[in-house]
Structure 1
Amino acid sequence: MKNQCNLIGRLSRDPYLAGTEENPVCFMTLAVNRNYRNQQGEREADFIPIKAFKEKKLATTCHNNLQKGSLIAVTARLQAKFKDNKTEIEIIADDIVFLESGKKRQKSEDDGEYNHEYSNDYSSNYENYHQEDKMPWER
């Protein structure tokens, strides 16, 4: 048995880093075009929330090098969570390939290091981060 999905799309916003320095989690929203056009002749997109935390390096590399509009390919797995008699599906990134070169995030002027602002309460921040991506009936 295999649990794997492959997605290619552009980030709809800058990645959000949460967790701790030892165990960071990078949240991203990937806009993936559908294979058909609507009645107006426009392509619609799905906004898919992605979590990257397999390795410390994966989360911080994504946060440091990706930004809104970055084109990426994601190999991920689906993970089901049961909460309040509902099933929530999360997309957990196993591998992310940058499909175009882009600008790196600005280094802080103080120490020359990337400025990571971690939030230990990433579950509520995750909900707030993805609120705009939800359909009106899901908000």
Structure 2
Amino acid sequence: MSINRLVLVGRLTKDPELRYTPNGIATTTFTLAVDRPFTSQSGERETDFLSIVTWRQLAETCANYLKKGRLTAVEGRVQVRNYENSEGKRIYVTEIVADNVRFLEGNRDSQRDPNEPDHRRPYDKDPFHDDGKPIDPADLELPF
């Protein structure tokens, strides 16, 4: 038995690119910048830039609602494909085929009056805003 499943959270490096196959199937590609959970020897956080592919309705939804810089969660599988380029060299491409994409923050392009109160529910905000800091249970709104 083998398992090929992953979950990533990162920011888009540019707007998604929507294309259609000759059979009319939508596909979208975008790059997700995902920080590594540790720092380099120089104390800097390193980032991986991962190619994401979506298909069909999910591809069209991503093309319509995702924008550069938007915090996004992707669930899917790793896929490695290969082809021979025009020089006869075998090229290998590793990409993430997403079957679930979550938009983790609102659209940055929308304008909101800074004097107007923020009525978003707490879980609409970035769930990783504490970035590893201890959580005080007294601050949580628990249903029990």
TM-score over 0.5 (shorter chain): yes
| Cα offset, 1:13, TM superposition | 0.8
- Listed as ranges, the matches of 1:45-56 within 5 Å are 45-53=47-55, 56=56
User: Structure 1 residues 25-34 or 74-83, which shifts more?
Assistant: 74-83
Amino acid at match of 2:38: Y
Amino acid at match of 2:24: E
| Cα offset, 1:60, TM superposition | 0.9
Identify, as 1 or 2, the structure richer in helix. Answer: 1
Normalization by structure 2: what TM-score? 0.63
Normalization by structure 1: what TM-score? 0.66
Cα distance in 2 between the residues matched to 1:57 and 1:31: 23
Between 1 and 2, higher relative CO (CA 8 Å, sep ≥ 6) is seen in 1
SS at match of 2:107: coil
Cα-Cα RMSD: 2.2
Aligned 8 A contact 1:72 1:97 in 2:
yes
Between the two proteins, what is the percent identity of the paired residues? 41
Cα distance in 1 between the residues matched to 2:13 and 2:98: 17
Cα distance in 2 between the residues matched to 1:65 and 1:95: 14
SS at match of 2:3: coil
| Cα offset, 1:14, TM superposition | 0.8
When the two structures are aligned, how many residues end up with a matched partner? Answer: 103
- Listed as ranges, the matches of 1:29-44 within 5 Å are 29-44=31-46
Aligned 8 A contact 1:65 1:104 in 2:
no
Cα distance in 2 between the residues matched to 1:103 and 1:23: 29
Runs of 4+ in 1 over 4 A off after TM superposition: none
Match among 78, 84, 100 for residue 105 of structure 2: 100
Question: Which segments of 5 or more consecutive residues in structure 1 lack a partner in the other structure?
Answer: 106-139
Q: Which has the larger radius of gyration?
A: 2
SS at match of 2:42: coil
